[in-house]
Amino acid sequence: MQSHITDSRFFRSGYATDEVRSIFCDLHRMQRWMDVEVALAQTQAKLGIIPQAAADELARLGQLHLLNQEVILEKLQTTSHSLMPLLFAWQQVVSESSGRYLHFGATTQDIQDTAQSLELKDVFLIVERDFAAIIHKLMKLAGDYRSLVTVGRTHGQHALPTTMGLKFAVWLDEMLRNGERIQECRKRLLVCQMFGGVGTMAGFGEHGQEILAGVADRLGLGKARVAWHASRDRLTEFIAVSGILAGTLANIANEISQLSRDEIHEMEEPFHSGKLGSSTMPHKRNPELCEQVVVLARLIKSNAMLGFDGLINEHERDYRAVRLEWVSIVDTSMFLCKALDLMKSILSGLIIYERRVAQNVASTAELTSSESLMFLLGSKLGNQKAHSLIYESAMKAHEADKSLIEVLFADETVSSLFDLDALMRAVHPENNIGQAVVLTESVMNSASKWVSRMDVNEAKTVTCSLCESGKQENGGAAG
């Protein structure tokens, strides 16, 4: 049964990638629990707490495929405990002398929280890789279109001229801020939990700090200062940062969608022959990729509330937050990785209709350059009088369907002070883009520096050898 949308045989490709699904598959999750147990045993053996031979046997036989998974399922039903059935099945394949040292001094949440940190470590590999790819794509778009004059819009209406490059630069700058959030969140999030029943390390004796450091080092995680069994702010931050990042992607997607409207038609998401927009209207080219990014962002936003609910726990440990995370963290990771995957595809094949951009600029060039015109008239009439004069002329032009310059030049005061050529030069859009190109290049330079500091392997993929998720999906990365 595949009833969750992220696992749907038919529709899952819109909500998650095979790559991120592989991180959270049941088999991979239990294997991670075993990996944490092995790291604990090997650390304890190195400290002389348990025999090295026992730790080595636990490591050698610490493979989920060696265990009776039917027994695990049966024990889950009878014990209602998430970890003990796995440990029981593991003990059936190791010697009694080694099995006695399994899960020595730890509590269940130590193992599962640490494993969740490992899951999120893999999620960050995907997020950082795809994030870097999007940064590169936005840098290229900003550079390619840095001088392409376009209509700037405020409140849904033509405002002043700007450049297409600056539009991309604004998106790029917001993404760079998200990059900073990701890096800061990562440092706090990916830590080891190895503190025992109520966080005192009592089960580890005098070696508690050494065990924590050893396990964290073996697993490539940070070392928490104290137990975080009941302190779930790290996970809440992850969902919140994911929500902001997804919101940025949705904002970009929404703008692309709006600019693809027939009456604007300046850009469009990638289109391929055979893609259908409607069952009844064959002509439709719906921005469905962009719309799906918005859907995913809204789903992540709804998960953020669960994250904040998880901040409230009782005493030293309370599983209610953890069980919320098993849904909210997983779904958030799925939705975020898919949103990033979609945005990579959208930006890679983004279509810019330059001729239509130019037509839209020309259609209201006089009105969108009214600010420049006001400064010209203001040089002799004063800005307030110039503003009033242009306002009245613009309203008359709108109502009479005439040119603004035509109405304005008919005013005796204006025609006595300025010739027609001066007015026409003032409303030339290319002369009224201000510092758009400079601002665009400034953001591109900042992005170049950010990319040079990032240690991102763009070819890195996350795989799970235990499940069948390692397949190509829509030409994407292997999972």
Catalytically active residues, by annotation: 155, 278
User: Which has the closest alpha carbon to 474: 303, 350, 348?
Assistant: 348
C-alpha 42: how far from chain center: 36
> Which tokens hold the place of 310?
């998880």
Please tell me the distance from the alpha carbon of residue 74 to that of residue 93, in angstroms, as a whole number. 17
The kind and range of the H/E element at 226 are: none
Please tell me the distance from the alpha carbon of residue 94 to that of residue 111, in angstroms, as a whole number. 20
Would you state the torsion angle of the CA atoms of residues 36, 38, 43, 48, taken in this order, to the nearest 10 degrees?
150
Beta strand pairing status for 222-223 and 191-192?
parallel
Give the E-state strand segments of 334-377 in sequence order: 351-352
Residue pair 355/366 in contact by the 8 Å Cβ criterion = no
> Which tokens hold the place of 126?
């995907």
Beta-bridge partners for 157: 154
User: Which has the closest alpha carbon to 365: 296, 423, 441?
Assistant: 423
Q: Which residues, at least 6 apart from 61, have a Cβ–Cβ distance to it below 8 Å?
A: 90, 93, 94
Residue pair 458/129 in contact by the 8 Å Cβ criterion = yes
User: Which has the closest alpha carbon to 5: 338, 274, 462?
Assistant: 338
How far is residue 128 from each of residues 55, 138, 150, 297, 334, measured CA to CA in Å? 35, 15, 32, 18, 14
User: Which has the closest alpha carbon to 440: 141, 120, 17, 201?
Assistant: 141
- Three-state helix/strand/coil letters over 428-449: CHHHHCCCHHHHHHHHHHHHHH
The residue type of 468 is E
Please tell me the distance from the alpha carbon of residue 178 to that of residue 237, in angstroms, as a whole number. 13
